[in-house]
Structure 1
Amino acid sequence: MQLKDKVAFVTGSAAGIGKEIAVLYAREGAKVVIADLNKQAADATAAEIVASGGQAIGVAVDVTDEAQVDASVAEAVKVFGGIDILVSNAGIQIVQPVDEFSYADWKKMLAIHLDGAFLTTRACLKHMYAQGRGGSVIYMGSVHSKLASVLKAPYVTAKHGLIGLCKTVAKEGAKHGVRANVICPGFVRTALVEKQIPEQAKTLGISEEDVIKKVMLKDTVDGEFTTTADVAQVALMFAAFPTNALTGQSLVVSHGWFME
């Protein structure tokens, strides 16, 4: 087991990519905190993990609420005795051209993706530093951390910003043995992406099939969606890596959509 007795705090993990990561972490021996806005769904995911022989709890957290973030991390530490891994995964998507984007939606997007990453990072780092056993901070970026697409100005802005935050945390955390890295998935067919397909079809005036083939997957090497399992495997690698040799990096998982 690569994560035996490690404590992982995973935001947005009641479903989708976050859940896949949480389940894999538990299978690899981690004690997992399912941190999600939906407490009922978080508890259900935690119950699934426990029923499979793992260790997990569900906690309610709005990642844009400073007090809730601090309280949920404190609860995790109280139950499991510390924090070794943070996966900052919570996120939403709103699709509109820049000239039609409301300021309220812009602020909402940045708050969830960037403020949430900052608040959870700060709360977890305090415990990682105090414990003196190192740690791993993992941000859920996107191919949009590297390039832009139409209709996604705040999402692209936020995902680019996560790389800057990651690099700073990598430099500051190094003396404490804390690593920071970013996963940059391509399109993963989660509920978030499913919602975008009809929205983009309407905005762009094309069919939903064309959104998939000619927008989302047109630059991949094989016309395939990235899977939640693909992303979870990278999250496991970042969490389990033993030294500062792998820190401050961003790894694209996109079927070749974006290549470095």
Structure 2
Amino acid sequence: MIKTPEYVAGHGLLSGKSVLITAAAGAGIGFAAATRAVEEGCRGIVISDVHEGRLAASVEKLKQETGLDAVWGLLCNVADEEQVRALIDFAEDRLAGIDILINNAGLGTSKLLIDMEDAEWHKVIDVTLNGTMRMTRYFLQQVKARGRGAVIVNNASVLGWRAQKEQAHYAAAKAGVMALTRCSALEAAELGVRINAVAPSLAVHPMLRKSAPEALLKELEAREAYGRGAECWEVANVMMFLACDYSSYMTGEIVPVSSQRA
């Protein structure tokens, strides 16, 4: 196994920008992206989640660890259109306009398709794909009305390209996020909005280690060239690249964050 590199210091990539991130309360990619956005100099940030206690704790942790006071949190289930609109309106008001939207919300379970109930299929699709669509749609409406461009970064997955047992619903949703990214990017270009996505292979965080069977994790890690999963901050780093001006000519692209052998 090739060891994890040292944590990379911020370089002011998002200096003066404002950021909204969904599903950012916890120990996963969302909170890692929120932390990195502040380290990269964002002037203000709003994070959302469906867990009230965890959200409040994450807001305080972000303030304490980074020293940024302009941090807010709002409960939001991206499967609910009213909550999506309320979140974006809240962030637009608090941040005096959102410069960067990171659609991180997603839901996954493990079930063979032959055993899957409609309700489980629909829940994963509704949060992961439809939620990304709802956030993107209403945000673009706000951007069009205010006449100032923005950036959207979506969280997809290599399972949008590759097959894995018990992941038909999740893979279908993430493939949909990829297609949504490409198509919406074409439509949003005239609004001055860039839309790209990251596609992680395996990002390891405490919740995954707690929920996934150890044998499955070892199998997935063995597929990676480095013999380990990515740290959540390694995925967040690529999100920051797509969010910042260094990727100014990129839109409609899906960027793998992967070391998979095949």
User: Is this a same-fold pair by TM over 0.5?
Assistant: yes
CA distances 1:116-142 after superposition (whole Å, capped 9, x unpaired): 101111121122233333211111111
Deviation of 1:105 (Å): 0.4
Given that 2:113 and 2:166 are in contact with CA atoms closer than 8 Å, whether structure 1 keeps it comes out as yes
Given that 2:100 and 2:152 are in contact with CA atoms closer than 8 Å, whether structure 1 keeps it comes out as yes
1:5 aligns with 2:9: no
- 1:17 aligns with 29
Given that 1:34 and 1:43 are in contact with CA atoms closer than 8 Å, whether structure 2 keeps it comes out as no
Q: Residue 175 of structure 2 is aligned with which of 160, 163, 172? A: 160
* Distance in structure 1 (CA, Å) of the matches to 2:67 and 2:207: 29
Any stretches of 5+ residues in structure 2 without a counterpart? 1-11
CA distances 1:226-245 after superposition (whole Å, capped 9, x unpaired): 11011010010000035652
Change in Cα spacing, 1:257 to 1:183, as seen in structure 2 (3 Å) is farther
- 1:37 aligns with 50
CA distances 1:140-165 after superposition (whole Å, capped 9, x unpaired): 11111211101011000000001110
Given that 1:177 and 1:244 are in contact with CA atoms closer than 8 Å, whether structure 2 keeps it comes out as no
Given that 2:222 and 2:228 are in contact with CA atoms closer than 8 Å, whether structure 1 keeps it comes out as no
Given that 1:177 and 1:243 are in contact with CA atoms closer than 8 Å, whether structure 2 keeps it comes out as no
1:213 aligns with 2:218: yes
* Distance in structure 1 (CA, Å) of the matches to 2:234 and 2:94: 30
Q: Residue 118 of structure 2 is aligned with which of 100, 103, 116? A: 103
1:227 aligns with 2:242: no
Count of residue pairs brought into register by the alignment = 247
Equivalent residues in 2 for 1:132-151, closer than 5 Å: 132-151=147-166
Deviation of 1:4 (Å): 2.2
1:27 aligns with 2:32: no
CA distances 1:27-71 after superposition (whole Å, capped 9, x unpaired): 222211111111322222222222222221010000000001101
Deviation of 1:95 (Å): 0.4
TM-score, normalising length: structure 2: 0.89
Equivalent residues in 2 for 1:106-145, closer than 5 Å: 106-145=121-160
Given that 1:186 and 1:253 are in contact with CA atoms closer than 8 Å, whether structure 2 keeps it comes out as yes
* Distance in structure 2 (CA, Å) of the matches to 1:71 and 1:120: 11
Q: State the percentage of identical aligned residues.
A: 30
Off by >4 Å, runs of 4+ in structure 1: none
* Distance in structure 1 (CA, Å) of the matches to 2:45 and 2:93: 13
The one-letter amino acid of 2:110's match is V
The one-letter amino acid of 2:62's match is I
Given that 1:84 and 1:128 are in contact with CA atoms closer than 8 Å, whether structure 2 keeps it comes out as no
Given that 1:178 and 1:244 are in contact with CA atoms closer than 8 Å, whether structure 2 keeps it comes out as no
* Distance in structure 1 (CA, Å) of the matches to 2:222 and 2:105: 26
Deviation of 1:256 (Å): 3.1
CA RMSD of aligned residues (A): 1.6
- 1:204 aligns with none
* Distance in structure 2 (CA, Å) of the matches to 1:121 and 1:191: 29
CA distances 1:197-251 after superposition (whole Å, capped 9, x unpaired): 22xxxxxxxxx3x32233x123211211111011010010000035652111111
- 2:104 aligns with 89
- 2:62 aligns with 49
Partner of 1:217: helix, strand, or coil?
helix
